[in-house]
């Protein structure tokens, strides 16, 4: 992402949390059941959609279980996941900057692996160092996202889309709605674009979309 390498050393006020609120407002109106398979155009630029890659077939959704950790080997991301609720302003309450290596999962929404769209959010940086989703904009179609759940299972998602949405034209339907009806999907969101020194926020959000393609049961036998 542009200017991403210059983000370290600034205290970001978390544009990601404001846009998550937009999605939650629409979520209660059935947005997660929309079919949004058409490609996004305009100001949401695709950064990880190579044409030649063959993506695997989706796995049927599985029973609900809470996420415990997430692993994206291609990005060298390995982090615990904690459930987060809403703060006093109605936005998702992120992990504190003191826990910048932790990913927040919106616990009021879908759980990873079940039908619907589960949402993970994470900081891109802090005043002193890169944070958990610093490399998220480098994700590409075909990358694997593994989520360990509290029932001992591991649900495996395949990235099928990486987009950058500006704050000005953020479209909650496209970000939080299911890309294909009936699937178990995952969104990973962090700040992106350039850093606005006046508002002390980033100008955009990086949104990585993935869908369920495999499940490893507690016994270790793939399904």
For position 70, which CATH number holds? 2.40.260.10
Whether 222 is in a domain gets the answer no
The domain total for the chain is 1
Helices (H), the chain: 15-27, 172-176
Is residue 135 situated within a structural domain? yes
15 SS3 class: helix
Q: What range does the domain containing 158 cover? A: 4-216
pLDDT at 188 exceeding the cut of 90: yes
Residue 138 lies in a domain: yes
pLDDT value, residue 96? 84
pLDDT tens digits along 75-115: 999 999 999 987 676 556 778 888 999 999 999 999 999 99
**DSSP labels, 92-134:** B-PPPGGGTT-EEEETTSPPTTSSEEEEEE--SB-SSSB-TTT
Give me the pLDDT at residue 25, please. 42
* Neighbouring C-alpha atoms within 13 Å toward the C-beta of 134: 18
How much is the pTM? 0.80
Instruction: For residue 200, tell me if it sits in a domain.
Output: yes
Residue 33 lies in a domain: yes
> What's the pLDDT tens digit per position in 47-80?
555 556 799 999 999 999 999 999 999 999 999 9
Statement: residue 138 has pLDDT above 60: yes
Residue 221 in any domain: the answer is no
CB 154 within 8 A of CB 111: no
Specify if 14 maps to a domain.
yes
Residue 13 forms part of a structural domain: yes
């Amino acid at each position: 992402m542009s200017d991403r390498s210059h983000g370290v050393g600034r205290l970001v006020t978390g544009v990601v949390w404001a846009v998550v609120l937009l999605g939650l407002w629409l979520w209660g109106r059935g947005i997660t059941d929309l079919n949004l398979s058409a490609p996004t155009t305009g100001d949401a630029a695709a950064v990880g959609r190579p044409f030649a890659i063959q993506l695997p077939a989706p796995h049927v959704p599985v029973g609900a279980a809470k996420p415990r950790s997430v692993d994206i080997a291609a990005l060298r991301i390995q982090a615990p996941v904690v459930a987060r609720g809403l703060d006093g302003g109605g936005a998702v309450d992120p992990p504190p900057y003191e826990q910048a290596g932790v990913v927040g999962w919106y616990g009021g929404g879908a759980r990873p692996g079940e039908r619907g769209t589960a949402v993970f959010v994470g900081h891109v940086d802090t005043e002193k160092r890169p944070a958990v989703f610093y490399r998220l904009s480098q994700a590409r179609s075909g990358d694997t996202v593994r989520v360990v759940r509290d029932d001992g299972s591991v649900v495996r998602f395949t990235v099928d889309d990486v987009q950058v949405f500006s704050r000005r034209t953020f479209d909650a339907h496209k970000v939080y709605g299911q890309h294909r009806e009936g699937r178990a999907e995952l969104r990973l969101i962090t700040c992106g674009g350039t850093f606005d020194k006046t508002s002390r926020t980033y100008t955009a959000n990086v949104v990585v979309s993935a869908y369920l393609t495999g499940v490893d049961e507690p016994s270790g036998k793939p399904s």
